[in-house]
Every structure is written in structure tokens, then in C-alpha cells.
Structure 1
Amino acid sequence: MSQVVPRQAVADLCCSPVLQAELNADEAQQLARALKVLADPARLRLLSLIRRADGGRTATVDLSDRLGLTQPTITHHLGALYDAGFVCRERQGRQTWYSVNTDGVETIRQLLDPELPAASDEPGS
């Protein structure tokens, strides 16, 4: 089972010194694009459903059933989440499976509260 990593995305900034210093213009643009991707109710619901799915991953068809949106609409939203670095995807036959990319989520977490330790530093992680 091979995991496909997201393209250049907010996850690239995870745990980097970038978040511990002042952002430059390019870094701010990259983070702003990522936050715009998250600023959609359907995408937030998708992240929530994927994160809570059995085994931490789910297939496109299951998400479409749960949200009441068409599969092309779900695929569009998942593509935006993937491009931004918030989900990973893996193809198995005709199915595409999605899981949350913890690095992308961690980057936003660090940006919003830099005083919090990285999730990997917390007990029980």
C-alpha cells in the first residue's frame, strides 16, 4: 500500500522554522491559500469525516453518501484539500482512499497558536 504525498502545499511548512519566525510574503501567500481552502463548510465536513473514519481513511463513495453531495462535487473538494496538503490519497483499483495529512493540519495549528507544542511533542502522540 503506497501513500501518495501531496504536491507543494502547506504541509511543506510543517514543523519548520518558518512558523517560529516572521512569515515572508511567499510563505504568507501559501498559508493564505491553504486557509481559503479550509474556509468552505463542505471541505471542513470532509476533513472531519475522514479523520473520524474507521482506520483514519475512507473512500470517495462513502463521503458522497454521508454529505449528500454528488460524487463529482466531493471529488472537486477533495482535490482542493489534496492540492493544499490537507489530505493524502491512495488509489486501489477503482477506489480512491483519502486520509488526513497530519503535517498540513499541524502547520495550521502551529500558525494559530505557536505556543502550543507540536503534536509530535505532546505526550501520547
Structure 2
Amino acid sequence: MMTATRPVPVGLYHLLTDYECPAASVRVIRMSGEGDAVGSHVHRRSMQMYVALEGSVVVEVDGVETVLKPYEVLAVWPGSVHRASPLDGEAVVANISIPPLGADDQVPVTGAAEPADLRLPRGADADMED
């Protein structure tokens, strides 16, 4: 099941799969060539799991870089600024969003400081209500 409106890609990459069901959405992307990357962005509702499938990928979350090798996973919590890029050459990454990633829940980050009154709690222990 797919909604009519899906998020616009943030960055430069090849979207291989874009699947959605009521509980989650999955995007599989290939980053190849110089300059390919998932650009800095934030989600207000969805948490994500990045899963490296091929090659190694650098995922930066709130300024902390983690290198994922094939079959390694990293959770990204709502409100965390994150981006991803291949470490060497090409990488294929699965991006799982819970709840499904909506078109209005992928906000590019411009580099401007987030206003304190709009800052969301971050991390696994963050207290967030609907």
C-alpha cells in the first residue's frame, strides 16, 4: 500500500525501493559516485533504522558519525538531525521508518540553529506525546 504523496528525496541518491504499509515504510537507496549522499534532515514523527546492505556508509546523527558495514544497523530517533554518505565508492542502504515516513515529515536542515522553543526531545529516553 502506498500513499499518494511520498517524501521528496533529500540529497543525491538512487531510490531503488519505496514501500509503505500501515506500520512502517522502507526505502532502499544506492549512493554511488562522487557527491551522492542523503542530505542533512530531520523527522518530527518517524524514527528510522539505517541498515547497510552493500558497501560501508557513514551515518551522522546529531554530529556523531558512525560507520555501518554490511548488515549493521543504526537507530535514528525523531528530532535528530542526520545524514548519510558512502564511505568508499558505492553503498546500498535500507531505511526503515516507523511510523511510515510522510511527505511532511522529512525536513531538510539548512544549517540555521534550531529555535529552542521548537527543539524536540532526542534519544531513546525522550518523553514525546502525540
TM-score with structure 1 setting the length: 0.28
TM-score with structure 2 setting the length: 0.27
Higher RCO (C-alpha under 8 Å, 6+ residues apart):
1
Larger Rg computed on CA atoms: 1
